[in-house]
Amino acid sequence: MALDPNEKPNQPVTKFESMLKTDDVYFFDAEDFEDIIHHYLNSGKISLAKKAIKIGLQQHPESMELKLLEVEVMVFENNLEQAEKILDRLQLLDGTNEEIYIQRANIHSKKDNHEAAVALLKKALSLTEDSFDIYALLGMEYLFMDDYEQAKVHFMKCVSFDEQDYSSLYNVIYCFEFLEDFEGAIAYLNEYLERNPYCQVAWHQLGKQYFTLKMYEPALAAFDFAIISDDTFIGAYFEKGKVLEKLGRYNEAIENYETTITIDDPTSHAYLRIGKCHERLNNDDLAKFYFYQTVHEDPLLDKGWLAITNFYFKKHKYDRALYYINKAINIDGENAKYWKKCARIHAALEHYDEADFAFKQAVDLGNYELDTWLNWAEVVTQNQEIEAAIEILLQGLEFYPEEAVILYKMAGLYLMANDPVKAQYRFRKALKKDIEMVEIFKEEFPSFYDSVWARNIIESVQKASK
């Protein structure tokens, strides 16, 4: 099986590399070649692995293990047809070697034939007692097939073999999360922690599950235990900071984010969270300072530019907000929320054409929120394009057919367009859906509200509802 990629080069590796620097040819046992090849594969040094395989097969041409490593490299490099031919020959020599089935499974997986890969891995499983790696491969195949229940089961088996296998532990929790079984994840992690009470990884994952369920006090306790288990665990401090923010304990959150900076190099994400905490504390100068630190640390972090945008937007400094939202859009022009913010800024500046364009971009990119339709219609109305505003609200009505606010606004717009029949139809429908919201119509269209026809319709709807 594969060696630890972090281990230092052993004597055979050192001897092999010395040989490559000279014209000498040294003899190695087949097992030594296996160790050398595994070392290079785990280090990502494929060309050196291939050299070792070539020389190894010259010295040990009948070695099944070296030939299987040759196949492994071929599969990695997508030389699948050649790999299958070698496997055919090897299977004739030894049909009970589980590695043959594992490599065949890898080939099928590369071809997106995951059902066949699973069948071959199960065959391999029946041929060996050393099943740890096979369960991990099965877990991955089930992930490819979107069968998260089966993936979870197989990764759990990996963890039961080796409770320090954090990669499989992460995959187990990933499956729970995808299945939205957060309670199940919590139960599993608590059982794991009974056996491994000082596992910072498990405490960290447990805290994240509680956080998802908005159980902030248990989340805080879990992150504290993660920090007790490893006081240099940056992720635990960061997540603890997020919990403290939710609890309104912003100064404590800042302390935790600052701790992440003292442990390792500063990150833009830490600066951003610190800035948001200071903003909540009304420390405007410090908030602005950390927001600028965010984009200085990572100029491509669009969320940093958005934070500065929001900072100036709240201060009604719309020209500056516009400058910075354009920075965010230049980085991620496919983000609907950025276009929506851009539209709101243009609307505040009374740039109605630009606001119209930005709202259209937001909707085209998938932002269908109720206030998007309402604000877009308002912008177009301000531009005296009443028919266009009505069309926008008709689109919005497809997404929110039960929203009385759209109907009230449409009634007013139809009246502005001199279409009283459609206005009365929408107004009556709005009243039937939510008569209390007629105040919106009264505020936006006071002259229409005070008209005889409006009063008559309101009275008739009120009588009918009694």
- Give the C-alpha separation, 342 to 328, whole Å: 10
Report yes or no: 134 and 114 within 8 Å, Cβ to Cβ: no
Report yes or no: 228 and 210 within 8 Å, Cβ to Cβ: no
pLDDT in tens, 288-344: 999 999 999 999 999 999 999 999 999 999 999 999 999 999 999 999 999 999 999
| Residue of 325, 440, 432, 448 whose CA lies nearest to 378 | 440
Residue 6 clears pLDDT 60, i.e. is over it: no
Helices 64-76 and 30-42, interaxial angle, to 10°? Answer: 20
- Give the C-alpha separation, 149 to 147, whole Å: 6
The confidence score (pLDDT) of residue 259 equals 96
Residue 464 clears pLDDT 90, i.e. is over it: no
> What count of other Cβ atoms lies within 10 Å of the Cβ of residue 208?
21
The confidence score (pLDDT) of residue 27 equals 85
pLDDT in tens, 205-253: 999 999 999 999 999 999 999 999 999 999 999 999 999 999 999 999 9
The confidence score (pLDDT) of residue 2 equals 42
The confidence score (pLDDT) of residue 57 equals 87
pLDDT in tens, 242-283: 999 999 999 999 999 999 999 988 899 999 999 999 999 999
Report yes or no: 173 and 205 within 8 Å, Cβ to Cβ: yes
Lowest mean pLDDT among 7-11, 15-19, 170-174, 432-436: 7-11
**CA 382, 388, 390, 394 torsion: positive or negative?**
negative
What phi and psi values does residue 201 have, to the nearest 5 degrees? Answer: -65, -45
Report yes or no: 179 and 209 within 8 Å, Cβ to Cβ: no
**CA 145, 147, 152, 158 torsion: positive or negative?**
negative
- 442: CB partners within 8 A, 6+ apart: 449
The confidence score (pLDDT) of residue 1 equals 40
Helices 30-42 and 11-20, interaxial angle, to 10°? Answer: 90
